[in-house]
Amino acid sequence: LRERRRAAALALVVALLVPGSAVGRPGAPAPGGSVEPAAQRTEMPEPIAYTLRFPEARHNAFEVEATVPTDGRDAVELLMAVWTPGSYLVREFARHVEGLAAATEAGEPLPVEKTRKNRWRVETRGAPRIVVRYRLRARETSVRTNFVDAGFALINGAPTFLTLADGPPRPHDLRVEPPPEWRVVVSALPPHPAPSPKAGEHAFRAADFDALVDSPLYAGNAAVHRFEVGGVPHLLVNEGEGEGEEATWDGPGSAAATERIVREQAKLWGAIPYPRYVFFNLLTGAGGGLEHRDSTVLMTSRWRLRTREGRLDWYGLVSHELFHAWNVKRLRPVELGPFDYEREVHTESLWVAEGVTSYYDDLLVHRAGLSTRKEYLAELSKRIESVETAPGHLVQSLASASFDAWIKFYRKDEDFVNTGADYYRKGAVVAFLLDARIRRATGGGKSLDDALRLAYARYSGERGFRPEDFRATVSEVAGGDLGGWFERHVDSAEPLDYSEALDWLGLRFADPKMEKKEKDEEDEAGKGDDPVGWLGLAAEARDGRLVVTEVKRGTPAWEGGLNVDDEILAVGEHRLPPDGWQKRLAAYRPGERQELLVARRERLARLPVVFGEEPGKRWKLEVAPNATPEQKERLAAWLGSPEELTPRP
Ligand SMILES: [Zn+2]
């Protein structure tokens, strides 16, 4: 996000759909490696040069060696990031550093002093370069940390590399010496311009520390699938795909779906901004994704593609992280770059970075023909329901939820549902309402797609956008001031109004009574018309005890004074079985008064409750049966499908 990247971001716009248009892609791997002109090389500050080795891979650790130029100083200070961009929590990566030692290039030991939790000061004794070595523990299977075992390594930048605490931005070189049995080494970094001829070595150059932190590295024996879109190479690196009968993951199928998603996103944005993109897809059984400029790390289960639901979920993840290559990695809130890696960075615009991205992830999967209209509407309905059934969305605004991500969303506790807003889900729902607002205001001429393209053209360079820039850009596309709209939907926690969006698109929320009737008809053991009692609590059986895990505000459980961690023993004089408790509670009727016998800190208490009625599925979107041809046209324009498509498997 510094100087080099500004130039790159402008230059890397590659015309789409023109085969062979990939010429002039700076940063793209040049065949055989290219050497920079001598004049440029002399002006460039000397790089920090890293080597990674894996002699202890089977013990979940690896070794780092850094040769650091001192620029003639008596002492240098090195720092490690305390957080990683895209994941807003201080994670104290320095706690995984073991045995850090420094020496001259000739091997003479140098004094090292720890000056802060994440900083080391090294006396140079006049050496032009110092060599720092340390070992890193790598056993956390997450998209933002390091994992190494006998089979493979996932190395993320923030938890791995030190850099000079001061001095000019400089390149960071990276060499990897994998164990001989690992045949695949992939990074989104460009290859080193002048690699040493050492056998078995893989060499890369990051233009600066930001680029290094933003470029995860994989080493192992993953299956690598390649495809091109608009002449730009894409790699899908499937760790754990397996071979032959062992394969549970459909490698070619996952690559084909990924390619369709890339094409759809490129169509929306109009151009591909990166020279090459890598999807690191690790079948570790963990979940989630983390975005980078030219790559993403995804984690999922090796069985995920075996069900329709799992496939759609994985497509959504791929779509989400790829969308970030535009939205947040380039079109970014002004606060999100250049980064201060040592303290929290606050922005009110995570709802744009994550909410707008969440809105488009499933929508673009659908536009790519990978999900049916019914499936897409079901996903959007789920998001709406999760917002509308969480009381916290009427407490915390999207702007505040964005700003407080570090202490609220990333530190969710049992009360988050009551006091916090989820800027992913609510942000997605608000993006949907905003899209409909623009479409309506322009008579269907413009959409949020247009607003994003305009925002990208204006703010994807060095600048980043302030909240008012984003709002002004959207207003301009909508042809009228949306200031009040944003105040209501983003700055306040007022209830959301869906009527305008639904009316424009010819949609409605299905009648919950009809829904229930249909479900009962499907379900042979249907409950008939008897309304079922409801307390609105979440609980789970732990070691034979039924323990309350969540109490939403305004529910009968809340009114009755139930607390999280209460153990529920009985309703009235009857034991409530920890297994099958929900079925038992369904035997009570709305309006029925009972006492819950609970144990709280080993003392018994009786809490009077009045059963209510479950609010029901009030948030299921469906096409209105009386939708006009005009509404149907608008719906098709929004979903990108003139008629129902047959989804690809
Ligand atoms: Zn995201």
pLDDT in tens, 108-143: 999 999 999 999 999 999 999 999 999 999 999 999
> Averaged over 283-302, what is the pLDDT?
97
The pLDDT of residue 649:
47
Residue 645 has pLDDT above 70, yes or no: no
Letter for the amino acid at 378?
A
For residue 13, the CA-to-ligand 1 centroid distance in Å is 23
**86-114 pLDDT tens trace:** 999 999 999 999 999 999 999 999 999 99
Angle (CA) 248-325-370 rounded to 5° is 45
Q: How many Å lie between the centroid of ligand 1 and the Cα of residue 362?
A: 13
Mention every residue, 6+ apart, whose C-beta is less than 8 A from residue 17: 230
Q: How many helices (H) and strands (E) does the chain have?
A: 19, 30
- Helix pair 308-323, 373-388: axis angle to 10 deg: 70
CA distance 240 to 304: 12
Handedness of CA 423, 372, 268, 301 (dihedral sign): positive
Quote the CA–CA distance of 388 and 84 in Å, as a whole number.
31
The pLDDT of residue 9: 35
C-alpha–C-alpha distance, residues 431 and 445, integer Å: 17
Contact (Cβ atoms closer than 8 angstroms) between residue 201 and residue 195? yes
pLDDT at 341: 97
The mean pLDDT of the chain is 91
For residue 617, the model assigns a pLDDT of 75
- pLDDT at residue 27, as a whole number: 39
Question: Residue 513: which pLDDT band, with cuts at 50, 70 and 90?
Answer: confident
Per-residue model confidence (pLDDT) at position 615: 81
Pairwise CA distance, residues 503 & 508, whole Å: 8
* Confidence tier at 561 by pLDDT (50, 70, 90): very high
Distance 533 CA to ligand 1 centre (A): 38
The pLDDT tens digits for 323-335 are: 999 999 999 999 9
Cα angle at 294 between 29 and 134, to 5 degrees?
85
pLDDT at 33: 39
Q: Are 401 and 422 in contact (CB under 8 A)?
A: yes
Assign 196 a pLDDT band (cuts: 50, 70, 90): confident
- CA of 473 relative to ligand 1 center, distance in Å: 22
Q: How high is the pLDDT of residue 58?
A: 98
Residue 201, both tokens: 């070595």
Find the 131 Cα to ligand 1 centroid distance in Å: 37
Backbone angles phi, psi at 529, to 5 degrees: -100, 0
Distance from the alpha carbon of residue 106 to the mean position of ligand 1, in angstroms: 46
CA 325 to ligand 1 center in whole angstroms: 10
**Ligand 1 midpoint to CA 323 (Å):** 8
Q: Which residue has the tokens 């009625």?
A: 613
DSSP state of 305: G
CA 110 to ligand 1 centroid distance, Å: 43
Q: What is the pLDDT of residue 524?
A: 55
Question: Which residues make beta-bridge pairs with 113?
Answer: 121
Please state, in angstroms and rounded to a whole number, the distance separating the CA atoms of residues 326 and 348: 19
Compute the Cα dihedral for 588, 589, 595, 598 and give only its sign.
Answer: positive
Comparing CA positions, the residue from 215, 245, 82, 221 lying closest to residue 151 is 221
Q: How many CA atoms lie within 13 A of 563 on its CB side?
A: 8
> Do the Cβ atoms of 376 and 366 come closer than 8 Å?
yes
Give the confidence band of 197 by pLDDT, cuts at 50, 70, 90: confident
CA trace torsion 574, 575, 581, 585 (10° rounding): 10
Distance, in Å, from the CA atom of 611 to the CA atom of 590, rounded to the nearest integer, reads: 5
User: pLDDT per residue over 407-447, tens digit each?
Assistant: 999 999 999 999 999 999 999 999 999 999 999 999 999 99
Is the pLDDT at 19 greater than 50? The verdict is no
DSSP collapsed to 3 states, 25-61: CCCCCCCCCCCCCHHHHHHCCCCEEEEEECCCHHHCE
Q: Which residue has the higher pLDDT, 194 or 524?
A: 194
Among 359, 272, 273, which Cα is nearest to 17's?
272
| Position 39 pLDDT exceeds 50 | no
Whether the per-residue pLDDT at 552 is higher than 90: the answer is yes
Inform me whether the pLDDT recorded for 6 exceeds 90. Answer: no
Mean of the pLDDT values across residues 56-84?
98
User: What's the 332 CA to ligand 1 centre distance in angstroms?
Assistant: 12
Q: Which of 206-210, 282-286, 338-342, 531-535 has the lowest mean pLDDT?
A: 531-535
d(Cα 315, Cα 322) in Å, to the nearest integer?
11
Check whether 570 has a pLDDT greater than 60: yes
The CA distance from 207 to 306, in Å, is 41
**pLDDT confidence band for 395 (50 / 70 / 90):** very high
Nearest to 64 by CA among 94, 41, 109, 19: 94
- C-alpha of residue 336 to centroid of ligand 1, in Å: 14
Q: What is the pLDDT of residue 23?
A: 34
Q: 323-337, 486-500, 520-534, 545-559 — which is least confidently predicted?
A: 520-534
Confidence of residue 527 (pLDDT cuts 50, 70, 90): low
Q: pLDDT for 453-504, tens place per residue?
A: 999 999 999 989 999 999 999 999 999 999 999 999 999 999 999 999 999 9
The Cβ-side half-sphere exposure at 630, using a 13 Å CA radius, reads 5
Closest CA relative to residue 437, chosen from 499, 365, 344: 499
What is the chain's Cα-based Rg?
Answer: 27
Higher pLDDT: 527 or 51? It is 51
Mean pLDDT over 12-24 rounds to: 33
- What spacing in Å lies between the alpha carbon of 177 and ligand 1's midpoint? 32
**Which of the residue ranges 37-51, 383-397, 437-451 would you say has the lowest mean pLDDT?**
37-51
Helix (H, G, I), strand (E, B) or coil at 495: coil
**Per-residue pLDDT band at 531 (split at 50, 70, 90):** confident
Predicted pLDDT of residue 31: 39
**C-alpha 327 – ligand 1 centre gap (Å):** 9
Nearby residues of 479 by Cβ (< 8 Å), 6 or more positions away: 441, 442, 446
Helical axes 251-269 vs 357-367, angle rounded to 10°: 110
474/22: higher pLDDT: 474
pLDDT confidence band for 36 (50 / 70 / 90): very low
Q: How many CA atoms lie within 13 A of 525 on its CB side?
A: 1
CA of residue 353 to ligand 1 center, whole Å: 7
Say if residue 511's pLDDT is above 60: yes
Q: 485 CA distance to ligand 1 centroid (A)?
A: 24
Query: pLDDT tier at 25 (50, 70, 90 boundaries)?
Result: very low
The answer to whether residue 243 scores a pLDDT higher than 60 is yes
Q: What is the DSSP string of 564-600?
A: TTPEEEEETTEE--STTHHHHHTTS-TT-EEEEEEEE
Overall residue count recorded for the chain in this entry:
649
Q: How far is the CA of 645 from the centre of ligand 1 (A)?
A: 27
Cα–ligand 1 centroid distance for 354 (angstroms)? 5
Measured between alpha carbons, how far is 174 from 185 in angstroms, rounded to an integer?
12
- What is the share, in percent, of the chain residues with pLDDT greater than 70? 90
Distance 308 CA to ligand 1 centre (A): 23
How would residue 167 be classed by pLDDT, with cut points 50, 70 and 90? confident
- CA 294 to ligand 1 centroid distance, Å: 15
Which of 16-25, 46-55, 362-371 is least confident? 16-25
**Sequence-separated (6 or more) residues with CB below 8 Å from residue 107:** none
Mean pLDDT of 237-266: 94
